[in-house]
Every structure is written in C-alpha cells, then in structure tokens.
Amino acid sequence: MLGQGFVSAAAIAASVLFILSLGGLSNQEKAKRAVWYGIVGMALAVFFTSLGPGIGGYWWLIPMMVIGAGIGVYVAGKVEMTEMPQLVAALHSFVGLAAVFVAWSADLERRRVLAAQAADGVMQEFSAFAALVATKAPDELTFLQIEVVFAIFIGAVTFTGSVVAFGKLAGKVDGKPRQLPGGHLLNAGAAVLSLLLAILYLNGAGFWTLIVLAALSFFIGYHLIMGIGGADMPVVVSMLNSYSGWAAAAVGFTLSNDLLIVTGALVGSSGAILSYIMCKAMNRNFVNVILGGFGGSQGPAAEIEGEQVAIDAGGVASALNDADSVIIVPGYGMAVAQAQTAVSDLVRKLRASGKTVRFGIHPVAGRLPGHMNVLLAEAKVPYDIVLEMDEINDDFATTDVVIVIGSNDIVNPAAEEDPNSPIAGMPVLKVWEAKQVFVSKRGQGTGYSGIENPLFFKDNTRMFYGDARDSLNALLPLID
C-alpha cells in the first residue's frame, strides 16, 4: 500500500505524459513517440491508483486487470487497421457504461453511509469511497448527487450512441438516417423526463430514479445516433470521444480522483475541438450534425449530363507514364479494399521514374479523423508527401494526373456548383481541375451517402472499375 503522496505524484506525472501524448499526435513523425507517452502514462495511472490508500480486494482486482490486458492484446493483434474506426467506437461505449456503473455504485454507497449514520453513527465495514462520503457535509453530498446524475446521463448516451456508431461503421446497421415516428420530439421528451427524474432524485427520491434516468439516456443515445447519416460518422466518432471524456471527468469528481478528472477533461476538450474542426471541414453546423441526417437540400438537385466512361489498366498506365506530376486522393474505398500497400508500391515506382507524387487528404476522408493518414503510414508512405486539403487544393490545376481511390463526397464538384446539393458549401478537393482524373471505384453506385457525383461524368474523368487493390496490382507491371 502506498501513501497518498506517491499517488498524487504519479497522477501529476501521468497527466503530463497524457498532455505530451495529445500534443505529439498532431504530427505524423512524432505520433509513435506520442503513443508511447500515453502508454506509459496509463501504466503509471493504473499501477499507483491500484496501490493507493483505501484500495483492497486484490484477489479479484488483479485477475480482472490481467484479463482486461489479455483482451486488449488479443484485440490489438486481431483488428485490422481498416477496422480502427469501429474499434474506437466500441471502446467509447465501454467508457460510457463504466461511468453508469460507477455512478450507480457511488449512490448505493452514499445511501449505505447515510443509513448507518442514521442508525447508530458507526460504520462497521466501509470502503474507501464510503469513508470519504462519511466525512462530507450536506452541501457536499448534494454536489455528489449532481455528479452522479451527470455521469449516468452522459455515460448512458455515450454507451448506446457508440454501439450504434459501431454498427454503422461496421456495416451491421444501415448507414442512412433512421428515426422513430416523432423524430426529435422523442429525444426532447426523453431529455425533459430525465431532468424531472434528476430533480426528484436530488429531492430524496429512491434509487429507481437513477435506473429510469439511465434507461431514458440509453434511448437518447440510441435514437440520436440512429438519426445521423453515415456520411457524418467522422464527426460522430469525435463527438462520442468527447462524450466519453466528460463521462470520465464526471466519475472523477464523484470519486474525488484528480487524475480521472484531468484525463477526462483532456479527452473531452480535445474531442470537442476535433468535432468542431470536422464540422468546419464539412461546412456543417455542429448542432445540425447531432440533430439530423446528412445534408439538407433546398430543392431539386441539378441534372447530370454525360456518361461515365470506363478505362482499363493499360490506359491508366499510359497516362501515368506520360505524366510529370501525380496526386493521389484516397478514401474509405481504399480502406475497405486494403489497398494501401498497393498504393505505396505504385508511389515508389512512380517516384523512381522521376515523377512528382503527392497525396491530397480531406479532413473527413474515411470513417475516422486521420483514418487515411494512419493507413498510409502503415504502408510506409513518406510523411512529407501526404498533404492536407488546404495545402494541396490550389495545385490540382497544374497537375497532370489525379487518381481518386474510393472517394466520393470529398471530391464532389456539386459542393461548389449545385446550391441544392445536400453537400452544398462543403469544402472539397478540386480534383476535376487536373488535366486527367482516374477514379478507382467498384461500380457505378452513389457511395455511402447516396449522393451522385458529377465528377464521374466529366470529360477529363475516366472510371477505373474494380476492387482497388486488384486494379492497382494490375497497373503496377505496366508502369515504366
């Protein structure tokens, strides 16, 4: 058993490491070291917290930690990089559910302490948390109850919302916005009922209020995310990340755990900032994203003229062999086909021929912020040729060839040309300004969001149909 001084010192060290980890993740070259900062910080947090004052029950605590670590190692080894978005959503759900359970337990302990004090004023057996509760003044107990309410509400919304997000990202739930009859009124009604239950609880109502509050919050999380379209999933994932952080912070206040408060606040604030950045990248209002499906057209979309013209590997190779500059724009289709290694091989071959090759990355490409950057880093694509949208958008007009791999909305000119389009005003990569555009795509469908793309019908665009990995592997031997 360690003293509180050791635990506090470890909490400060872990907090510093978490801050360094977040700061390092903003740069691809520093990201690996930043991840290790986070790993070491979490190891310190778990070790010193488990040995802190008032902690016991090691006969079950240690096995649970070993089992949890084993599951983590197994999942890390089994999950493909292309499945990272749904894994992140699943992990958010665990944080939310843990917050609900801790809040319930905290209130049960509070009730047990008050009952013992009312009986004889002596606690025969008590946990570290119960001992803490026994020293609190009435106004401090009221704040404890408020913290319990917040932890349950935010945690329950995070849990079911993350489960639905996992289903949509994994393709197990329809990506289109779905809501029950009554739509947002149901969410508003559940929120009002939750507030009434919180008031009843704070005025002495029984534990049943917290159970019903959790049930209503579970519904809000489920119905809220079901009503959001698949194209908004990058924002939803970062938003749920923020929710999980605030849920952890609320639990930290409940348990008087400074490290949990700091860590939760870091995750919550960074997730909120990332959500704002994602919304800005999509020209979307954050509240509108949370309350509804993707887009909101004001009239009939513009008619698209022309036809999609297909091309084979030989035609694409000929254009690439003649080109001096090439920009590759990856999207979720590259992740699904696991084509990042083939893309990396193509880049090495083109650069060996003296061609200038770069990548254009849209902030919401894929199903998770930074999804494409992670996949390209895994395939060992040099960091210095992977550029963000703002860095490369002005260069398309002077580029010989653009290869679009599995992208749709982020290269859709309707965002600029059609005010009635559901994505009108969304900043996009202006690939159509290049001399030639080749789109690697499975078929003629409209993609995840169901929005038609005029790019596919333009005179300088050719459709390179087929599985992205197979198509690129067929192209590689033809490059000089």
- Under a CB-based contact definition with an 8 Å cutoff, are residues 137 and 78 in contact? no
> Can 409 be counted among the known catalytic residues?
yes
Indicate the SS3 state at residue 353.
coil
Rounded (to 5) percent helix, strand, coil in the chain: 65, 5, 30
Please tell me which residue in 409, 418, 459, 470 is annotated as part of the active site. Answer: 409
Burial grade of 269 (CB within 10 A; 0-12, 13-18, 19 or more)? middle
- CA nearest to 315, candidates 142, 469, 194, 436: 436
Q: How wide is the angle at C-alpha 210 spanned by C-alphas 206 and 214, nearest 5°?
A: 160
What is the DSSP code (8-state) at residue 327?
E
Number of Cβ atoms within 10 Å of the Cβ of 456: 23
* Alpha carbon separation from 86 to 78, 169, 236, 364 (Å, rounded): 13, 6, 12, 15
Query: 458 — phi, psi (to 5°)?
Result: -75, 155
Radius of gyration, alpha carbons of the chain: 26
Distances (CA, A) of 305 to 144, 422, 449, 455, 457: 63, 19, 21, 11, 7
Name the strands in the sheet holding 386-388, side by side, starting at the edge strand that comes first in the sequence. Answer: 386-388, 356-361, 325-330, 401-405, 436-441, 461-465
Give CA–CA dist 250/116, Å, rounded: 26
Which residues carry out catalysis? 409
